Amino acid sequence: MQYDLRLMIRYEFDRPTGAGRQQLRIQPAQMPPQQSLLSCEITLTPEPAERRDFTDFFGTRVLEVVMPPGLKRIEIAMKARVVRLSLVQELDISPPLARLRAELEEVTEIGAASPHHFLWPSPRIPADAAIAAFARKAVEGAETTRAAIGALGNALHDFMTFDAKATEVDTPPAVAFALKRGVCQDFAQIMIAGLRSLGIPAAYVGGFLRTLPPPGKSRLEGADAMHAWVRAWAGAEAGWIDHDPTNACFVDTDHIAVGHGRDYSDVAPVTGALRMDGGQKGSHSVDLVEFPPVVASPAPPPRPAPRAGG
């Protein structure tokens, strides 16, 4: 499947800013074969004073910009073309949970793809006893690691209510869990805390999600979203498996990944330091459209519209 992806981020400031350094993690990942980036263009308005890019530890492309001082508005526009293939494994080749640790100990590599980074508490995902207890219960009876991953994701989906107003970007997972409410970031971070408590290495993935319109309705501009989900390690052979607890599904061709890390702080789309003494407003919109546009295709298979929201 080939997509045209557009992202637009706008900031407005009450008072002109001082000079500021920003790092943008918004370029879709190059992850052949399931995801290939054909082109990507990022434009900032106004033009940054400095601009360079690099690949961070976990393999995410980072665009670093220094904005000139005195701005009241910044616009970041990203345009990309991405090919996404469905590579969901039909066969569950993951080991039973009890054997995962032994497989993990065989891995002595600690590069970006190593599971070893994702077993420990991380800055935004500390260990939590309540989540651990929930996770233990949710995976009872799961025969394989993959089954356990799916079971926990589904259990969380049933337990939590999607609510864009209940939490903030820095709400700790334990708080969202106690509220039983949150957005994709909360779902993902709670699931990661649960998986880690079970000894399953789990990473946080940032990216985009296509939102299909309800049958018979046409697609709305900007209806797609920035999104977050979970990448869990299911043993040496099965490797990494992406699961989206917000939508209770293993990830397929509707998800476009930007990158992964230990938690949100490793893949936040915009980080940086801007000297400000006043309020700011931000907004963003995402469009993820199949290319070439699908003309007169058969009606999409009936399935619930995925929920998104980072």
Partner 1 sequence: MRDATASDPADAVAASARLARLLKDYAPLPDTPDEMVGPDAKLRPLWGDFAAALARLTPEDVERRRARADQYLRDSGVFYRQYGGGQSVERAWPLSPIPVLIDEADWESLIPGLIQRAEVLEALMADLYGENRMVQGGHLPPALITANPEWLRPMVGIPPQSGHYLHFLAFEIGRGPDGQWWVLADRTQAPSGAGYALENRVATSRAFNELYAQGHVHRLAGFFRDFRDALLGMRQDRDARAAILTPGPLNETYYEHAYIARYLGINLVQGEDLAVENGRLMVRTVSGLSPVDVLWRRLDGSYADPVELNGASRLGTPGLVSALRAGGLTMVNALGSGILETRALMAFLPKLAPRLMGEALELPNIATWWCGGAAERRAVLGAPGRLLLSPALATGLPFDQAETILRASSLTAKELEYRLTTEGRGLVAQEAVTLSTTPALVDGRLAPRPMTLRVFLARTAGGWQVMPGGFARIGATPDPAAIAMQRGGSAADVWIVSPGEVPSVSLVPAPSGPYRRMGPGALPSRAADNLFWLGRYIERSEGSVRLLRARNVRLAEAGKAAAPILAAMTPLFEARGIDPEPGIPAGLLDTLSAAIGSAGQVRDRFSPDAWSALADLAKTARRMAQSVTPGDDAARALSALLRKLAGITGLVHENMYRFMGWRFLTMGRLHERAMGMSEILAVLADEKAAPGALDLAIELGDSVLTHRRRFTVSTNRDTVVDLLALDPSNPRSIRHQIEALGEQIRQLPGAMENGVLSPLAGVMLHCQTELATQTPETLTTAALWEFRAQVAALSPLIQEAYLR
Residues that bind partner 1 (CB under 8 A): 20-21, 23, 50, 52, 54, 56-58, 64, 66, 107-111, 114, 116-117, 119-120, 265, 271-273
CB neighbours of residue 292 within 10 Å: 8
Helix (H) or strand (E) holding 159: helix 145-159
CB of 64 to partner 1, least distance (A): 6
Backbone dihedral angles phi then psi of residue 104, each to the nearest 5 degrees? -65, -40
Q: Minimum distance from CB of 278 to partner 1 (Å)? A: 18
Minimum CB–partner distance for residue 39 and partner 1 (Å): 26
**Closer residue to partner 1 in complex, CB, 203/286:** 203
Give the span between the Cα atoms of 14 and 9, in whole angstroms: 17
Nearer to partner 1, 118 or 177 (CB): 118
Q: Closest distance between partner 1 and the C-beta of residue 52, in Å? A: 8
Angstrom CA distances, 152 to 98, 246, 296, 301, stand at: 16, 12, 38, 26
119 vs 166 by CB, closer to partner 1 = 119
Give the nearer residue to partner 1 in terms of CB position, either 239 or 272.
Answer: 272
Q: At what angle do helices 145-159 and 184-197 cross, to 10 degrees?
A: 140
Query: What would the DSSP string read from start to end of 290-307?
Result: ESSPPPSPPPPPP-PPPP
Q: How far is the CB of 169 from partner 1 (least distance, A)?
A: 12
* Whole-number Å distance between alpha carbons of 287 and 211: 9
Nearer to partner 1, 23 or 211 (CB): 23
Q: Provide the minimum distance between the beta carbon of 51 and partner 1 in the complex, in angstroms, as a whole number.
A: 11
Q: How far apart are CA 270 and CA 100, in angstroms?
A: 35
Residue by residue, DSSP assigns 51-76 as EEEEE-TTS-EEEEEEEPSS-SEEEE
- Judged by CB, which is closer to partner 1: 113, or 166? 113
Contact call for residues 185 and 225 (beta carbons, < 8 A): no
